[in-house]
Structure 1
Amino acid sequence: MKKYVDVIGIDVSKLTIDAHIYNRGVHRVFSNTSKGYKALLSWVEKHLGKDLCFFCFENTGHYSTNLSVYLSENNIDYVEESPLTIKRSSGIVRGKIDQLDSAMIARYAWLYKEELTLSSPKAQDIQELGRLLSFREQLVRDRTGKMSSLKEMQTLLSSPSTDDCCIIVKKMIHYLTKQITTLEQSIKKLIRSDELLEKNYQLLNTLKGVGLILSCQLLYHTNNFKRFDSWRQFSSYCGVAPFEHSSGTSIYRKNRIHKIGDRKMKTLLTLASVSAIQCDKELKQYYEKKVAEGKPKLVALNNVRNKILSRAFAVVKRGTPYVELQKFAA
């Protein structure tokens, strides 16, 4: 990174942002709006003048998106970091208030400024894709809750009131299903509007076990395969990469996946791997081979998850669809 003289740590919440200039030791609260961002820049210029500085804040999803876009449009350097990374680098912290959090973020950014990489906002299409996927997930969760309620009602004794409730819940499930279908059509329309997004989506769909949602989540989390250099990095991000655990000569455990990871992606990859070993002969043989070698079924299934990721990155990198080689075996 450049030779900065100071850093501004920002704690982002729904309505406000707390800013802390590390070396100056000053703090102020602004609204989480365009007007607040403008006031923030004026405040920083008042204390630092033309000195070179950068901003650092946690990635808090929708709450921090507008701030990152505003800073990028004004050509201001910033780093959007994982909240867990900042938390684990801060040592023991007993209290929690926004002012303390902003100072903690500023301290982290200043100490690790040589190792940090400047951030940039995701493309507009990728941001829209993320919003649509997030809302679809919410609707699916609501529908699942209604289906559970319906199942519970149907186990009760039949009565006029119970029958009426079941009818209402069925209508709600039908309505939610229609809205989910409409959202999926909107997702497909959005993907078709971008040539590169459409190309990578079509390539991903040549993989067995990979459907609409997993393809879109891969495109979103990898920023259309620009965020990660290799499938191994993304595997670690998802929490499906095995890691060694040993110390000296007395402690040695089998390689295990770490509990830290994107649970949504891990779940989708699990569903995709279960589907793949049923409809993909190569992955089925690969899975059965690992089980025959004595590996637990969950470990073998995790190997299939990583196989799917390696294939996904391979087809996008090559720019050609996946070809099932067993079809052409003699």
Structure 2
Amino acid sequence: MKNYKEVVGIDVSKKTIDAYCYHGQVHKEFVNDIVGYKSLIKWVFKVCKEATVFYCFENTGYYSLKLALYLSSQNIVYVEESPLKIKRSSGIVKEKTDVLDACLIARYAWLYREELKPSTVKSMSHLELGRLLALRDQIVRNNAGLKGTLKEMKIFLTSPTTDAGCISIKRSIEYLTKQVTCIEKRIKEIMSEETSMQKNYELLTSLKGFGLVIASQLIYHTGNFTRFDNWRAFSSYCGTAPFEHRSGTSIHRRKQCHYLGDRKMKSLLSMASVSAIQHDSELRLYYNKKLAEGKDKMLAVNNVRNKLIARAFAVVKRGTPYVVLQQHAA
């Protein structure tokens, strides 16, 4: 992005977007819809004249997705950045307004322009996969809450089978269960519609502990294994990679995982690790070996998590299903 002469920082909210030209030092507010985006482009062209411009804004989910889709359709270069990165690069900021946020985004994009890379919109199937996975997770959590409520009600009621409240909750649980089944069916259809995605899904499910949900989540978060160069980078993204913490001679702690990371992905990997330890003889031996070395149980589980991530990237890179070596040993 170093060849660009101007950057427009955009603070995206639900109804409006605030744009700020870094060198021009001008600000204007637009509506967060197609009409507003067209007005934004015309305004930037008028203010910046012949200067080459790129746009930068924070990833705010659905609110920023509409803007990204429009800019992509017009072949306009933009960078969609993590809000945390921008916030931590801004220094001490005591005030917060939409105008100031747009200014800070523009400042960040200009200062780090040589390191930034243009963003691209994910395919429609990939976007739908993400929406379905998020919806499934929400429904499963709601269903678990209803099951807990039903369990508590049964304890205090003498005839829960005839109670109107229990009957209503049971019907809701049955309905949500059917919705989860429908969502999972659609997820499988999305996988089968794209050859590379279907192949990677089959490779991932050849691993012990990997089912539909974690395989789909891996494919989504890795951009079908195009977003990360290696498994260590993805481990860092999930928050399972240990990092050193030492300074001079007085501070020397053991390696620890950083608290920043994708908690959902980390939780799924934890459940996959527990399942793999039970059903995979190699990982069970590896886990018991770590315990015998005196390591804490959670640290041993984290080692298994990283093993699973390494295996997932290995089978995809190799293009062949995982084979348990011990069963072929003489």
Partner secondary structure for residue 244 of structure 2 = strand
Matched, 1:304 2:307: no
Query: In the TM superposition, what is the alpha-carbon distance from 1:159 to its structure 2 partner?
Result: 6.3
TM-score (norm 2): 0.97
Q: Please name the residue that 1:126 is paired with.
A: 126
Equivalent residues of 2:6, 2:53 under 8 A apart = yes
TM-score (norm 1): 0.97
Q: How does 1:280-295 map to 2 (within 5 A)?
A: 280-295=280-295
Q: Please name the residue that 2:236 is paired with.
A: 236
Query: In the TM superposition, what is the alpha-carbon distance from 1:255 to its structure 2 partner?
Result: 0.3
Query: In the TM superposition, what is the alpha-carbon distance from 1:69 to its structure 2 partner?
Result: 1.8
Q: Which amino acid aligns with 2:137?
A: E
Partner secondary structure for residue 79 of structure 2 = strand
With 196-205 and 13-22 compared, the bigger mean Cα shift is at 13-22
Partner secondary structure for residue 134 of structure 1 = helix
Q: How does 1:150-165 map to 2 (within 5 A)?
A: 150-158=150-158, 163-165=163-165
Deviation track 1:128-176 (CA, whole Å, cap 9, x = no partner) reads 1001111111111211111121122122243689822111101100110
Q: Please name the residue that 1:40 is paired with.
A: 40
With 153-162 and 280-289 compared, the bigger mean Cα shift is at 153-162
Distance across 2 between alignment mates of 1:162 and 1:261: 47
Distance across 1 between alignment mates of 2:55 and 2:121: 14
Distance across 1 between alignment mates of 2:80 and 2:282: 40
Q: Which amino acid aligns with 2:9?
A: G
Q: How does 1:1-330 map to 2 (within 5 A)?
A: 1-158=1-158, 163-330=163-330
Equivalent residues of 1:9, 1:103 under 8 A apart = yes
Residues 160, 193 of structure 1: CA spacing in aligned structure 2 closer, same or farther, 3 A cutoff? closer
Q: Cα RMSD (Å) of the superposition?
A: 1.3
Distance across 1 between alignment mates of 2:183 and 2:157: 37
Query: In the TM superposition, what is the alpha-carbon distance from 1:257 to its structure 2 partner?
Result: 0.2
Residues 39, 322 of structure 1: CA spacing in aligned structure 2 closer, same or farther, 3 A cutoff? same
Runs of 4+ in structure 1 deviating by more than 4 angstroms, as ranges, are 159-162
Residues 168, 231 of structure 1: CA spacing in aligned structure 2 closer, same or farther, 3 A cutoff? same
Query: In the TM superposition, what is the alpha-carbon distance from 1:36 to its structure 2 partner?
Result: 1.3
Distance across 2 between alignment mates of 1:3 and 1:222: 29
Equivalent residues of 2:154, 2:160 under 8 A apart = no
Distance across 2 between alignment mates of 1:32 and 1:158: 55
Distance across 2 between alignment mates of 1:166 and 1:84: 44
Equivalent residues of 1:153, 1:162 under 8 A apart = no
Q: Which amino acid aligns with 1:3?
A: N
- Is there any run of 5+ residues in structure 2 with no aligned partner, and where? none
Equivalent residues of 1:9, 1:21 under 8 A apart = yes
Q: Which amino acid aligns with 1:293?
A: E
Deviation track 1:224-281 (CA, whole Å, cap 9, x = no partner) reads 1111000100100011100000000111000000000001001000000011000001
Q: Which amino acid aligns with 2:46?
A: K
Query: In the TM superposition, what is the alpha-carbon distance from 1:56 to its structure 2 partner?
Result: 0.6
Partner secondary structure for residue 115 of structure 2 = coil
Partner secondary structure for residue 165 of structure 1 = helix
Query: In the TM superposition, what is the alpha-carbon distance from 1:50 to its structure 2 partner?
Result: 2.4
Equivalent residues of 1:244, 1:253 under 8 A apart = yes
Distance across 1 between alignment mates of 2:146 and 2:100: 42
Distance across 2 between alignment mates of 1:232 and 1:161: 52
Distance across 2 between alignment mates of 1:4 and 1:12: 22
Residues 275, 3 of structure 1: CA spacing in aligned structure 2 closer, same or farther, 3 A cutoff? same
Equivalent residues of 2:4, 2:53 under 8 A apart = yes
Distance across 1 between alignment mates of 2:85 and 2:103: 15
Q: Which amino acid aligns with 1:5?
A: K
Deviation track 1:287-310 (CA, whole Å, cap 9, x = no partner) reads 010111111000000000000100
Distance across 1 between alignment mates of 2:221 and 2:28: 33
- The percent identity for this pair of structures is 60
Distance across 1 between alignment mates of 2:247 and 2:74: 49
With 284-293 and 67-76 compared, the bigger mean Cα shift is at 67-76
